Structure 1
Amino acid sequence: MMIKNIENKIKLASWISISSLITSIIISLGISYLAYKQIQISRKSVYILDKNSTPYQANQLDVTVNRPLEYRTHVNLFHMLFFTLAPDEKFIEYQMKKAMYLIDETGALQYNNLREKGFFNSILSSSAVLTIQTDSVFIDSEKKYFRYYGKQTIDRRSSTVIRTIITEGYLHDLNLRTENNGHGVLITKWKTVENKDISNVQKTNI
């Protein structure tokens, strides 16, 4: 009888030891997971010091949160650069150079095509000022597709022409953001869908 009681006590002690070990492992894993999550959260926080050395917390956001807005801004910026021109050869070169950082070779192809057709020479000879107004930019974030709608004004000495500009293309995410491409996006497969005059007002020379 005594031997049986001893065996039961040994079994009970064994179960208690095993249970304690399993509980310790579970608690350790739980603490490790919580510590890992805290580290991840802390890495998203940046403290900025003002002039008085007072720390302000700035939280890091997931890059995908504002991506559609960045896509729209990127597309708008490219079109503003490409279609806003003045009768100044250096200004045209500057605009085209800045625009080419935002697009693949399809942008260079359109630029070279316009240059071969004498488009930029006509701007210089007629003292034309070209500006563009964005109507809307449609973005399909899943397909990385966009369509741009805008109106371009061509102001010459003799007339003012307004034309619709509709283009489309795709967006490619880059692994690096640079000073020349702050959104880390590259426009690809860009093409003009529509480019037609909707108004042509002749100026009266006095």
Structure 2
Amino acid sequence: MVIKNLENKIKLVGIICSLFLIGCMVISISSIWTARTMITDAQQKVYVLDGNVPILVNRTTMEETLDVEAKSHVEMFHHFFFTLPPDDQYIKYTMEKAMYLVDETGLAQYNTLKEKGFYSNILGTSAVFSIYCDSIRFDKTNMEFTYYGRQRIERRSNILMRELVTAGQLKRVPRTENNPHGLLIVNWRTLLNKDIEQKTKTTY
């Protein structure tokens, strides 16, 4: 009888220890999971100081902002490449900035224009080139874009408006100071570049 009671007590102790061990494991796993979830959530939140007031902002992944960043990248490149005042140092500066955003197809177009004396003509005629973006169509699946814009060319005697359409693809690259969007324009080409309006400037 005594032995039987002893065996029952040993079994009871074993069951209690097993339940206690399982409970500890459940609590430990739950604690680890909760901690990881909290850390992940915390990493997605960033506080920005506005003066002395911290403002909570949420981080986003590149996938969530790809459409906006792609269009901004394309517009930035066209601004650098087609904004041309009669200042050789400024043109050199903007072309260097533009070349960080495009592959060799952009450099090829720049060299072709340079060989034809395009930039020398800008300096000689004091022409001012400005670019206006009308829209950018971006296909996220194929990473392809089409840029629609107008170029304003102001010379001493007239103002010429040209319609400009270019296309290309985008490739992901590491973000750098010179390429903040982490994208590179590849296979860039001009689809349309034609005169749409010309006005004679009034002289007094």
Same fold (TM over 0.5): yes
Structure 2 partner of 1:131: 130
Structure 1 partner of 2:99: 100
Q: State whether residues 77 and 101 of structure 2, in contact with CA within 8 Å, keep that contact through their aligned partners in structure 1.
A: yes
- CA shift for structure 1 position 91: 2.1
Structure 1 segment 173-184 matched on structure 2, within 5 A: 173-178=172-177, 180-184=178-182
- SS where residue 107 of structure 2 aligns? helix
Q: State whether residues 45 and 57 of structure 1, in contact with CA within 8 Å, keep that contact through their aligned partners in structure 2.
A: no
> What TM-score, normalized by structure 2, do the two folds share?
0.86
Structure 1 segment 39-50 matched on structure 2, within 5 A: 39-47=39-47
Structure 1 segment 176-195 matched on structure 2, within 5 A: 176-178=175-177, 180-195=178-193
Structure 1 partner of 2:14: 14
Alignment gaps of 5+ in structure 2: none
Q: Deviations over 1:28-61 (max 9, x none)?
A: 011011112222333344445566xx45144350
Alignment gaps of 5+ in structure 1: none
One-letter amino acid of the structure 1 residue matched with residue 179 of structure 2: N
Structure 1 segment 26-41 matched on structure 2, within 5 A: 26-41=26-41
Question: For this pair of structures, how many residues does the alignment match?
Answer: 203
Structure 1 runs of 4+ aligned residues shifted over 6 Å read: none
Indicate the percent of aligned positions where both proteins have the same amino acid.
43
> What TM-score, normalized by structure 1, do the two folds share?
0.85
C-alpha distance in structure 2 between counterparts of 1:56 and 1:74, whole Å? 30
One-letter amino acid of the structure 1 residue matched with residue 145 of structure 2: F
Tell me whether 92-101 or 7-16 shows the greater mean CA deviation: 7-16
Structure 1 partner of 2:23: 23
- SS where residue 42 of structure 2 aligns? helix
- CA shift for structure 1 position 94: 1.8
C-alpha distance in structure 2 between counterparts of 1:47 and 1:196, whole Å? 49
